[in-house]
Amino acid sequence: VSLVDLRRARIAVFDSGMGGLTVLRAIERLLPGADYLYFGDTARLPYGAKSQKTIARCVVSAAKHLEAQGIDLLVIGCNTASALALYDVREAVNVPVIGVIEPGATAAEELSHSREAIVFATEATVNSHAYQRALARRGFNTFEKACPLLVPLVEEGWVNHPVTEQVARIYMIETLRLAPANCDALILGCTHYPLLKDLFRRVAPQRIQLVDPAEATAHAVVSQLPDNMKLCALMPNAVPTYRFMVTDSTEKFSRMAPLFLNFEVDHVELVDVGQ
Amino acid sequence: VSLVDLRRARIAVFDSGMGGLTVLRAIERLLPGADYLYFGDTARLPYGAKSQKTIARCVVSAAKHLEAQGIDLLVIGCNTASALALYDVREAVNVPVIGVIEPGATAAEELSHSREAIVFATEATVNSHAYQRALARRGFNTFEKACPLLVPLVEEGWVNHPVTEQVARIYMIETLRLAPANCDALILGCTHYPLLKDLFRRVAPQRIQLVDPAEATAHAVVSQLPDNMKLCALMPNAVPTYRFMVTDSTEKFSRMAPLFLNFEVDHVELVDVGQ
């Protein structure tokens, strides 16, 4: 790659709401010299109760909007959207599309000796069994546990709160009662859960390693990025730029973003991509 | 009213999801001899993050669907929908429409001596300030507190759970720090909260009375019902009939209904009222 070919990558991260910011942050830590576009479909969240067809329509409309902004790569940061709409999005746009589930399963494969894993996720992601299938292809036996209280607790800002620790402990006890005895990997299968990593470390048995699909996804982005963009993104002193787009309440997004990012978000665009 | 005029009332209760079942139950306790239609707009919940225009469109489409089933009275059981769409619904249908906010405010007026009240509600209801306005017209000074964790806790089935009590206690402490010193009424401004009545009783100071808008709404229904239907509904040994309609996942509705009702719901209709 000659220096004249160097080009900043335009990387888009889609999520149904705020949670994908943990994925954005993981990518930006590895690739600081890039331009980031974040799309939070806040008007239509949560995707949990919606049908596959509706979710695919929502994600595809957002993906097309992002493609029209001129992007080099699209990351589906939302676990539910990755589970239910990845193939529809890949058919609809002409840029590489990376979901969080395959990278998460690959990361579990690298960490686990027993090939027995636990997945904590939202009800919709558990019901899709996307992680179970991705892990089964890698020879895993998987126990999936829906943890519906964890997202509201994170969104209340109770990240280091005794109530949240108590709830996580209850979910862990319920899980260990039913999970394979030798499981040694816990996949944090919802974008909000990496914020509770310290807390999960305290409530999980020592033998269990935590798997953060956001980090694994960031590594997948690095490996998919063309060399001229990768080198540019890794230049010393390179800094990221950000554009934030949401479909409802820019004010709420700005207010809650610091829960997920280490900086303030003062400009958020309101986008209309239809029903 | 002559006996030949007696007629069973057809009473519809609308909600964005399951919570309105507490309103249905309060009405049915007062008026057992009636036919009940329940509509849960589960595909489009939560209404919290949506604009007034979108919410009004959703509620009006449901109200028209209910009107087409031949009803005598429509109750908007959802606090957010009552706050944001009551007038649109009244214009759209030709049956009496009762919301939960005015009856709730009237009940607070009857119980309170200090005219200082607390409202616990969802974020959307608090942001609408509908209770504050309704109470201000009655000379009240009101402190509104958003309690976003309580709905997920109820929906997890943790109604008598130490975690839920701890969360309610935290909300109460945060509220008492800021609320008027003499407040003596706590309005349970979300349809899920009446399920936590015993728990609120334990965490609220003795001087504070609990106001359940569901009960107040049931009394409003009784007073609006024509005499021939009211007499029929109050006949000894009269029993209610039920029809349940939802816009998504009838299975989830059936599974969760026993949290709110004292009987099993084995038949739920899936209804499509468009976007």
Per-residue confidence (pLDDT) for residue B49, from 0 to 100: 60
Query: pTM of this prediction?
Result: 0.87
**Contact status of A50 with chain B (Cβ, < 8 Å):** yes
Query: For residue B196, which of B173, B170, B168, B172 has the smallest C-alpha distance?
Result: B168
Query: Mean pLDDT over residues A249-257, rounded?
Result: 88
Per-residue confidence (pLDDT) for residue A24, from 0 to 100: 97
Structure tokens at B227: 């005499």
Q: Tell me the nearest-neighbour CA distance from A43 into chain B, angstroms.
A: 6
Q: Are B64 and B91 within 8 A, CB to CB?
A: no
Q: Give the pLDDT confidence of A96-134 residue by residue, as tens digits.
A: 999 999 999 999 999 999 999 999 998 889 999 999 999
Q: Tell me the nearest-neighbour CA distance from A110 into chain B, angstroms.
A: 34
Per-residue confidence (pLDDT) for residue B42, from 0 to 100: 86
The answer to whether the bond into B46 is cis (omega within 30° of 0) is yes
**Contact status of B163 with chain A (Cβ, < 8 Å):** yes
> Which residues of B fall within a CB distance of 8 Å from A163?
163, 166-167, 170
Per-residue confidence (pLDDT) for residue A36, from 0 to 100: 98
Higher pLDDT residue, B250 or A39?
A: A39
Per-residue confidence (pLDDT) for residue B275, from 0 to 100: 53
Q: Are A173 and A147 within 8 A, CB to CB?
A: no
Beta strands in A56-115 (DSSP E): 73-76, 97-98
Locate the chain A residue with the closest alpha carbon to B164: A163
Mark yes or no for CB contact B49/A170 under 8 Å: no
Helix residue ranges, H only, A39-78: 52-68
B97 has which bridge partners?
Answer: B74
Q: Is the pLDDT of residue B196 over 90?
A: yes
**Contact status of B190 with chain A (Cβ, < 8 Å):** no
Q: Give the pLDDT confidence of B114-124 residue by residue, as tens digits.
A: 999 999 998 88
In eight-state DSSP terms, residue A124 is H
CB atoms < 10 A from the CB of B110, how many?
A: 10
**Contact status of B128 with chain A (Cβ, < 8 Å):** no
Cα(B99)–Cα(A17) distance, rounded to whole angstroms?
A: 31
Mark yes or no for CB contact A148/B170 under 8 Å: no
Minimum-distance CB partner of B152 among A49, A149, A163 = A149
Q: Tell me the nearest-neighbour CA distance from A50 into chain B, angstroms.
A: 6
Quick one: what percent of chain B has pLDDT higher than 90? 80
**Contact status of B18 with chain A (Cβ, < 8 Å):** no
As annotated, the active-site residues of A are 78, 190
Q: Measured at the alpha carbon of residue B103, what is the angle toward residues B99 and B104, in degrees to the nearest 5?
A: 105
Q: Is the pLDDT of residue B48 over 80?
A: no
Catalytic one among B58, B147, B190, B232?
B190
In eight-state DSSP terms, residue A51 is -
SS3 A17: coil
Cα(A36)–Cα(A39) distance, rounded to whole angstroms?
A: 10
> Which residues of B fall within a CB distance of 8 Å from A249?
49
Per-residue confidence (pLDDT) for residue A201, from 0 to 100: 97
Mark yes or no for CB contact A49/B163 under 8 Å: no
Contacts of B98 (CB under 8 A, 6+ apart): B73, B74, B75, B76, B217, B220, B221, B224
Q: Are A161 and A168 within 8 A, CB to CB?
A: no
Query: Mean pLDDT over residues B241-249, rounded?
Result: 92
Q: What is the dihedral of CA A49, A55, A61, A62, to 10 degrees?
A: 70
Alpha carbon separation from A241 to A12, A67, B61 (Å, rounded): 12, 18, 43
Q: What is the dihedral of CA B190, B54, B132, B104, to 10 degrees?
A: -40
**Contact status of B122 with chain A (Cβ, < 8 Å):** no
| Mutation choice for B interface testing from A149, A190, A256, A275 by most B CBs within 10 A | A149
Cα(A14)–Cα(A98) distance, rounded to whole angstroms?
A: 10
**Contact status of B61 with chain A (Cβ, < 8 Å):** no
Supply the ipTM of this predicted assembly: 0.82
**Contact status of B159 with chain A (Cβ, < 8 Å):** no
Q: Is the pLDDT of residue A45 over 80?
A: no
Mark yes or no for CB contact A166/B166 under 8 Å: yes
CB atoms < 10 A from the CB of B160, how many?
A: 11
User: Using 50, 70 and 90 to split pLDDT, how confident is the model at A236?
Assistant: confident
